[in-house]
Amino acid sequence: MLSRGLPSNQSMKCYSDFGSKSCSSLFLRQSSPISVNIDKMNLNFSMKNVVRCGALVAENSHTFLVGKKFQLDDVIDGQQFDRELLSNIFEVAREMERIEKNSPGSQILKGYLMATLFYEPSTRTRLSFESAMKRLGGEVLTTENAREFSSAAKGETLEDTIRTVERYSDIIVMRHFESGAARRAAATASIPIVNAGDGPGQHPTQALLDVYTIEREIGQLDGIKVGLVGDLANGRTVRSLAYLLAKYYNVKFFFVAPDVVKMKDDIKSYLTSQRIEWEESADLMEVASMCDVVYQTRIQKERFGEHIDLYEEARGKYIVDQKVMSVLQKHAVIMHPLPRLDEITVDVDADPRAAYFRQAKNGLYIRMALLKLLLVGW
Amino acid sequence: MLSRGLPSNQSMKCYSDFGSKSCSSLFLRQSSPISVNIDKMNLNFSMKNVVRCGALVAENSHTFLVGKKFQLDDVIDGQQFDRELLSNIFEVAREMERIEKNSPGSQILKGYLMATLFYEPSTRTRLSFESAMKRLGGEVLTTENAREFSSAAKGETLEDTIRTVERYSDIIVMRHFESGAARRAAATASIPIVNAGDGPGQHPTQALLDVYTIEREIGQLDGIKVGLVGDLANGRTVRSLAYLLAKYYNVKFFFVAPDVVKMKDDIKSYLTSQRIEWEESADLMEVASMCDVVYQTRIQKERFGEHIDLYEEARGKYIVDQKVMSVLQKHAVIMHPLPRLDEITVDVDADPRAAYFRQAKNGLYIRMALLKLLLVGW
Amino acid sequence: MLSRGLPSNQSMKCYSDFGSKSCSSLFLRQSSPISVNIDKMNLNFSMKNVVRCGALVAENSHTFLVGKKFQLDDVIDGQQFDRELLSNIFEVAREMERIEKNSPGSQILKGYLMATLFYEPSTRTRLSFESAMKRLGGEVLTTENAREFSSAAKGETLEDTIRTVERYSDIIVMRHFESGAARRAAATASIPIVNAGDGPGQHPTQALLDVYTIEREIGQLDGIKVGLVGDLANGRTVRSLAYLLAKYYNVKFFFVAPDVVKMKDDIKSYLTSQRIEWEESADLMEVASMCDVVYQTRIQKERFGEHIDLYEEARGKYIVDQKVMSVLQKHAVIMHPLPRLDEITVDVDADPRAAYFRQAKNGLYIRMALLKLLLVGW
């Protein structure tokens, strides 16, 4: 983790959400009581002061609520999170769910500006972050093609780009094609950096939303059985998920993958070192019948290069279809990081145990929570 | 039309526009009267409750006005609109015109998020929709190149993309290269879809703004004479306009087109079946002298492929210039969907009967009206 | 300069900034005093009117403050600015600095819509303008690739594009690849145009932020010694800066450039005609020891075409490094328009006299000031 003091212009920032809190409780935090002198002789009194109060509440919403500082300065990788922190973040995500549903005009992040600095396209992730910011009343500066950022094209370093963009914004959400880029950015920036995926490296908000989804859907994280299916060799998602779930008790993993994209030894060793049970299986039906979560993934064609035959073989091997659903337990769910091709058949979508679109929505709540925490604290 | 219940998170949404309505009338809708107890002994009373009211009005602007539900769930094609609906929408468009001119800080759509999902570039249409949303206090998520949407590029279906984007937004404005795409999106989505053009298919908001412009400029739609000029074979615009105007009484069409891009038989048959008079003419001067509206269009080079000679011949044939203007009636107008090349000479622009830029502006009002109606009702 | 009356829908616009002004003084501008009748018999009075006031203040913020009109209709080139105007703009920029630091929810430009019409990418400049607009509560419509603006691609003139975009927005910030394009746009538009660079032409906001930075860093503009270093032949920045600083007294320039990119005669003649001292030097160390400002620039590889050898030679010649810093006076500063390659070594960044990132931030303040002045006046 990068250690760094709170940037000076952050420490004074604060928030209020009139939609989710009662205004009277809010107002108790205002130190100087406001009063109106009423001239008894003339009860037609001027409303100047009254209106001034209204204006104070409506416009100076940044001046009287300061949340307890979030313990992270940046969100760079999954290792930054332990059980307790995850649990607290998930509680904020639940609050965000309520805000998104009931308080369409939330102003929690009013006056804050997020820059989305994407060096490779990822519209889904970008829209999710931008929606999160706007749902909380914040604003967004967008660069979809930061790689063509005229400065980057001219040879500017990432560090210089960050030093410029941080002067225009309050938080930077960054997607990069190089592993470690987010960490370099965080080391430079005096405003929070959120890693929205750096090449083969990390994509921590995806990992968090996956764990959050399991907790929401299954009700617990300890003691769960999770089947990871599909491309386990290249999938950043399933690897990160395995790392994060290893923090919980009595989790058991089943790996179901075509031979060419089997789970790598590093994760297996790590799980073993954490006393997490795992086994490999070639029988998706059996695994599905035992698991609480079947986490299906896409076989990534782009990883196979010219070996289209191997791709085609791997691709069709483990499909989640009605047959799989028929053995899945009633309380269990199917997850998928999306996009989905044909590894889950479309007729599964209507099944209440198909959780993948709810999972996408949870990404919104997790990102709302992280933006809120990084910008205005707990 | 696609039938579908109001999505659950829509039914509770409502709006207020402090700019265009008197606040006192607004406040009458608040059910519980708010009062302040004044301690007679101490007229220096606390303002907590007063301020709380101010905050309620300023921040909870979504909680006390619900418009009557709009009868359409989506805007997909021109066939969804009949005379009465058009007339009512045009009235809202007029109100939007007043809001845009007098209430720059309108909050009618505050807290609403529109996603512009454009699978092919159309900056003019995109900016028009985004301006409409922002003029009403709403927010926008933009994808200019949804075709490169990382997921679409990876083979994700339109349906899956819609299911994801609808979780980040309240309404989707969609441009697609395939006819029927908007209808497929609407069948999937639980939030409103607005078709901003789907390939050779429909572009209903363009058709509506055209009809709205004629009514604004001429004062009526029944009994008008309309000259359609230019590329009548390929122009989606003129074809849609002919369909829509066929709903009015005693409309007469004149088709003025180079041979290679003549109006097709399907429209002619349709008009005949609706007892709408039409005739073809090769004499733009004569037509211009008789019509209330001369609707000029661009000859689309891209339709001619290698036949550049045919394009050049067709292109120069019917030009609206000062000579045409000299025979145009005083109350008549020239319209054009833009962009314009040289089919209307630049010196015509200063003529008050040149309505094409006003027409572009009307697109803003029509889109404001539709977004308002789809999101918060009448 | 383009003369033109204030567009009609502009003259009535006004602003308020609750963050930076006391509300009571604001309220004095409201002409009709608002009062509440309190029924003596029933001090439990209705709060309807009180709340109405709150709503008025919170929502109708556009209706009671009108600034004195800004004397420029558009910002097209550096020649529009004289000493007095610059000084007044700089004062507004200082106010913007305070607003950006202390009033995150400023609403000065609430309800205003800026279109960024960029015909060539310049993400840095675009983000700076968009941040400026959003920091003042305004909204933005973005076109990153106006060159592919479907209409421009189809052959639409710049004038027609402007006539369309001005109907969707209140101000247009425009970047173009052709010199003079901004002036053509301004001649057409009825809303303000800001030139954000037009090819080899002008980039006036860069010139203003440079002069503003010198005044902020050195404390004065008269009597300063400025070393211009690097590509003085092609650098639009240094040429504009020389023109603007020529308006001040006793300024002295030192030109330090590789032979192939020496300062051209037109600037030299102009400075001489203005009785501004200048001299050429090949000794960066000596110049650095005498100057108040060393303005370093990037040698632009793209100007050398196939002559990579000349580029490489020119590039390494004048580097600002610790050795240069060791002779630089204590009060002096290093400036650079960014992006920087290796013409300033990274170890210089930590020196308090390295002003280039502060300079980038000043661009934000200058742009906030210009947007504010063009839209709502002084």
At B305-342, the pLDDT tens digits run 888 888 888 888 999 999 999 999 999 999 999 999 99
The stretch A290-315 carries a mean pLDDT of 89
What token pair was written down for A32? 């100087």
List the single range of A32-36, A275-279, C130-134 with lowest mean pLDDT: A32-36
Print the SS3 string covering C199-228.
Answer: CCCCCHHHHHHHHHHHHHHHCCCCCCEEEE
Confidence tier at A305 by pLDDT (50, 70, 90):
confident
pLDDT at B15: 34
- The whole-number pLDDT of residue B300 equals 84
Q: Which of A69, A164, A72 is nearest to A115 (CA)?
A: A164
Q: Which residues of C touch B142 (CB under 8 A)?
A: 142
Per annotation, catalytic residue among B176, B183, B184, B203: B203
A376: its two tokens: 């205005």
User: Which of A212-226, B152-166, C90-104 has the lowest average pLDDT?
Assistant: B152-166
Supply the pLDDT for residue C4: 40
Residue B30 has pLDDT above 80, yes or no: no
The per-residue pLDDT for B130 is 98
Measuring CA to CA, which residue among C96, C59, C359 is closest to residue C215?
A: C359
The span from the CA of B348 to the CA of B351, in Å, is 5
List C-alpha distances in Å: B291 to B228, B329, C153, C371.
Answer: 10, 8, 32, 45
Task: Single out the catalytic residue among C126, C183, C184, C203.
Answer: C203
Structure-token pair, residue A317: 């091997």
Residue numbers of A between 33 and 52 with CB closer than 8 Å to C: 38, 43-52
For B310-321, b where at least 16 C-beta lie within 10 A, e where not — what string? bbeebbebbbbe
> What's the pLDDT at A249?
96
Catalytic one of B48, B101, B154, B275: B154
Residues B361-374 have a mean pLDDT of 98
For residue B159, give the 3-state DSSP assignment. helix
Contact B135, C140 (CB under 8 A): no
Asked if C167 has any chain B CB less than 8 Å from its own CB, the reply is yes
Chosen for mutation from B38, B47, B159 (greatest number of chain A CBs closer than 10 Å) is B47
Taking 50 as the threshold, does the pLDDT of residue A14 lie above it? no
Query: Which of C63, C123, C135 has the alpha carbon at shortest distance from C96?
Result: C135
- Distance in Å, alpha carbon of A189 to nearest chain C alpha carbon: 12
Question: pLDDT at residue B203 above 50?
Answer: yes
> How deeply is A314 buried, as exposed, middle or buried, from its count of CB atoms within 10 A (0-12, 13-18, 19+)?
buried
Mean pLDDT of the A197-209 span: 92
Contacting residues of B for C167, CB less than 8 Å apart: 357, 360-361, 364
Range with the poorest average pLDDT among A37-41, A274-278, B299-303, C333-337: A37-41
- B350: pLDDT strictly greater than 90: yes
Query: Distance between CA atoms of A162 and A151, rounded to whole angstroms?
Result: 11
Residue C55 is predicted with a pLDDT of: 28
Tell me how far the alpha carbon of residue A336 is from its chain's centroid: 15
Distance between CA C12 and CA C64 in Å, rounded? 10
Give the span between the Cα atoms of A194 and A76, in whole angstroms.
Answer: 6
Q: Name the nearest CA neighbour of A237 among A135, A360, A105, A108.
A: A360
Beta strands in B31-167 (DSSP E): 35-36, 45-46, 113-118, 139-143
- The pLDDT score that the predictor gives to residue A146 is 75
From B133's Cα to the closest Cα of chain C, the distance in A is: 11
* CB contact (8 A) between residue C60 and residue B142: no
**Is C126 part of the annotated catalytic residue set?**
no
Q: pLDDT tens digits for C298-317?
A: 998 877 888 888 888 888 89
Active site includes A161?
Answer: no
Query: Is C4 noted as a catalytic residue in this protein?
Result: no
pTM of the model: 0.84
Distance to chain C for A196, nearest Cα, Å: 20
Note whether B61 contacts A142, CB cutoff 8 Å.
no
Quote the CA–CA distance of B36 and C46 in Å, as a whole number.
7
Taking Cα atoms as reference points, which of B31, B135, C20 lies closest to residue A55?
C20
> Token pair for residue A29?
């935090």
Of A244, A219, A242, A221, nearest to A232 (Cα)?
A: A242
Look at residue B334 and give its three-state secondary structure: strand
User: Contact A113/C124, CB-based, under 8 Å?
Assistant: no
CA torsion, ordered A117, A122, A124, A125, to nearest 10 deg: -50
Please judge whether C36 and A13 are an interchain contact, meaning their C-beta atoms are less than 8 angstroms apart: no
Of A55-69, A208-222, B67-81, B351-365, least confident by mean pLDDT is: A55-69
In what helix (H) or strand (E) does residue A374 lie, and over which residues does it extend? helix A356-376
| Residue-wise pLDDT tens digits, A325-358 | 999 999 999 999 999 999 999 999 999 999 999 9
**Average pLDDT, rounded, for chain A:** 83
Q: Which of A17, A20, A23, A345 to mutate to test the interface with B (most CBs of B within 10 A)?
A: A23
Task: Work out the widest C-alpha separation in chain A, in whole angstroms.
Answer: 94
CA-closest candidate to residue A227, choices A334, A330, A82: A334
- What's the pLDDT at A149? 64
Region for residue A363 given its phi and psi (left: phi exceeds 0; alpha: psi -120 to 50; beta: otherwise): alpha
Tell me what pLDDT residue B153 has: 72
**Mean pLDDT of all residues in A219-248:** 94
pLDDT at B278: 98
Question: Mean pLDDT for chain B?
Answer: 83
**What would the pLDDT profile of A170-194 be if each residue is shown by its tens digit?**
999 999 999 999 999 999 999 999 9
Taking CB atoms and an 8 Å cutoff, what residues of chain A touch C58?
54-55, 58-59
Catalytic residue among A175, A236, A340, A372: A175
Tell me the nearest-neighbour CA distance from A3 into chain B, angstroms: 33
| Residue B150 pLDDT class (50, 70, 90 cuts) | low
Predicted local distance difference test score (pLDDT) of residue C66: 59
What pLDDT, on the 0 to 100 scale, is given for residue B149? 63
pLDDT of residue B155: 85
User: Higher model confidence: residue A240 or residue C344?
Assistant: C344
Q: How confident is the model at residue B62 (pLDDT cuts 50, 70, 90)?
A: very low
Mean local confidence (pLDDT), A137-144? 93
Tokens 């400075």 — which residue?
C271
**Distance, CA of A2 to CA of A189 (rounded, Å):** 11
Predicted pLDDT at B376: 96
pLDDT at A370: 98
Range B294-306 average pLDDT: 88
State the catalytic residue, choosing from A101, A154, A167, A330.
A154
Flag if B361 and C169 touch (Cβ within 8 Å): no
CA distance A11 to A26: 19
Average pLDDT estimate for A309-326: 92
Query: Distance between CA A356 and CA A369 in Å, rounded?
Result: 20
Q: Which residues contact C91 (CB under 8 A, 6 or more apart)?
A: none
Least confident of A27-31, B80-84, C241-245: A27-31
Q: How many residues does chain C have?
A: 378
Task: Establish if B141 touches chain C: CB-CB under 8 angstroms.
Answer: no
* Whether B175 contacts chain C with CB within 8 A: no
pLDDT of residue C41: 34
Binning pLDDT at 50, 70 and 90, where does residue A16 land? very low
Going by the DSSP 8-state scheme, the letter that residue C97 receives in this structure is H
Q: Which residues of chain C have pLDDT under 70?
A: 1-66, 149-152
Q: Is residue B46 over pLDDT 80? A: no
Q: Does C62 touch chain B (CB under 8 A)?
A: yes
Chain C CA closest to residue A49 = C24
